Amino acid sequence: MKMISFTRWAVIIAFGFSLGCSNTLKTVESLVQEEAYFQALKELEESLERRPESELLWFAQGRIHLIYSETDEPIQRTYHYQTAYNSFEEARRLGIDSTQSVEIDNLLQRYWAQEHNAGIHALENGEYDDRLRDAASHLRNAVALKPNEISSYIALTNAYYSADKIKLAVKTLRDAEENLDTPNAQIYEKLGFLSLEQGKIEDAITFYQRSIDIIDNKNAAFGLVNAYISNGESLKAVDLLTGLLTRYPNETDINHVYGVQLNIVLDGYLTQLHQAYKDDNSVEVKQLRQAIENMMEGAEGQLTQAYKNDISNTSFVESLAIFYNNLTSKYLEMLEVAYTEHVDIMSDSAAEYLDKAITYYKRMEQLRPNEKEYAKKAENLGELRIVLFTY
């Protein structure tokens, strides 16, 4: 296993360890100089039972736990760090002076930086098998030292996620939510992502919305769109994408996803129109035809814009092929029930959409020459074109 070096601070901390004139502190200092850390801590614990109001004893206990931690492997240091942090907090509560308070800040920052940086190094280093275990160990230590530092929680979450330990990743974020002074958008964004990964769609929607409520951020908004899509709520996805497109007009992925979702809504409208014709509901037919015209223009425009931005992106090309192919099918089916005055218009539209579907399937054939399904699809649609629209 590759070991990550950990700079030792014991000599620096032990030097000048005189905290007062009491016999206890002198005894503790002597034991620290001898590296008898366990005995030093035992001496302090007994003294604290007698004098729990002594801020200097709590301060000394925190420092010695930091020194003692250096004798252990990373996975064993967490207890020392948690105890040191709690001891320092108690010392502050009891009223240590400003110099000692600054020293606490410096010590916690120093040890936190060591552990956090070692964790990041392990997380980003793929050269040895135990890197994720080591990363998690160091980052757990970093969280213990600074439980209000968001970056360590996020890095620890990433380590657990990379190791497929989703429950631990979620727990880490929940701990962060509890320990941070104010709600954090990044925490809720990550919780939304993990909930979506676990198939907990309603939870994902809730967390993403909380993230957006704190700060309007693109990642959480995209996540919320995906959650709505996964939940079959295309109308909500469309509403959100409308706002996203206004804020990020040059995002090709938004054009594509927006177009796909508009097409889903459009498909539903076309199904309703088919039924309205069968029911001879002229009022609903008129309303639906107008809604379909608007929705179709939006869907076609967004999908076409995505394609123009990247004509070699097979997802964009295939989406257009599917879009026009589905429109062709819907209009051909509707010819059987449509009002007479609408038949010629629908027939012309079906022919136009069929030609476009053939064009984009042929484009897919060029982009993926080894996948014969696209050539076959274009061929079949071409034969349909000859049968239906040759006069």
pLDDT per residue over 317-355, tens digit each?
Answer: 999 999 999 999 999 999 999 999 999 999 999 999 999
State the greatest distance between any 2 C-alpha atoms of the chain, in Å, as a whole number.
Answer: 110
How confident is the model over 261-276, as pLDDT tens digits? 999 999 999 999 999 9
Over 70: is that where the pLDDT of 3 sits? Answer: no
Residues 31 and 46 sit within 8 Å (Cβ to Cβ) = no
Over 90: is that where the pLDDT of 15 sits? Answer: no
Q: Which amino acid belongs to residue 363?
A: R
Separation of alpha carbons 331 and 334, rounded Å = 5
Residues 172-179 have a mean pLDDT of: 96
pTM for the whole structure: 0.80
Rounded to 5 degrees, what are φ and ψ at 3?
A: -95, 140
Least confident of 120-134, 171-185, 299-313, 333-347: 120-134
Nearest to 155 by CA among 108, 196, 163, 182: 163
Sorted by sequence, the CB contacts under 8 Å of residue 31 that are 6+ apart come out as: 37, 39, 40, 43
How confident is the model over 50-60, as pLDDT tens digits? 999 999 999 99
Q: Which two tokens stand for residue 112?
A: 């936190």
Q: What is the mean pLDDT of the chain?
A: 91
Residues 196-218 have a mean pLDDT of: 95
Banded pLDDT at 384 (limits 50, 70, 90): very high
Over 60: is that where the pLDDT of 17 sits? Answer: no
Separation of alpha carbons 276 and 348, rounded Å = 21
Q: How long, in residues, is the chain?
A: 391
Banded pLDDT at 1 (limits 50, 70, 90): very low
Over 90: is that where the pLDDT of 129 sits? Answer: no
pLDDT of residue 67: 95
Fill in the DSSP letter of residue 215: S
pLDDT of residue 249: 85
Q: Which two tokens stand for residue 318?
A: 């295939």
pLDDT of residue 23: 81
* CB atoms near residue 303 (< 10 Å): 25
Q: Which two tokens stand for residue 34?
A: 């001898």
pLDDT of residue 390: 67
Q: Which two tokens stand for residue 131?
A: 């890197």
Residues 361 and 319 sit within 8 Å (Cβ to Cβ) = no
How confident is the model over 33-46, as pLDDT tens digits? 999 999 999 999 99
Sorted by sequence, the CB contacts under 8 Å of residue 64 that are 6+ apart come out as: 28, 32, 37, 40, 41, 44
Domains of the chain (ranges plus CATH)?
Answer: 10-146 (no CATH), 252-389 (1.25.40)
- What is each CA distance from 86 to 56, 79, 171, 261, 343, in whole angstroms? 14, 11, 21, 52, 79
> Considering the chain, what percentage of its residues have pLDDT values greater than 70?
94
Over 50: is that where the pLDDT of 2 sits? Answer: no
pLDDT of residue 361: 97
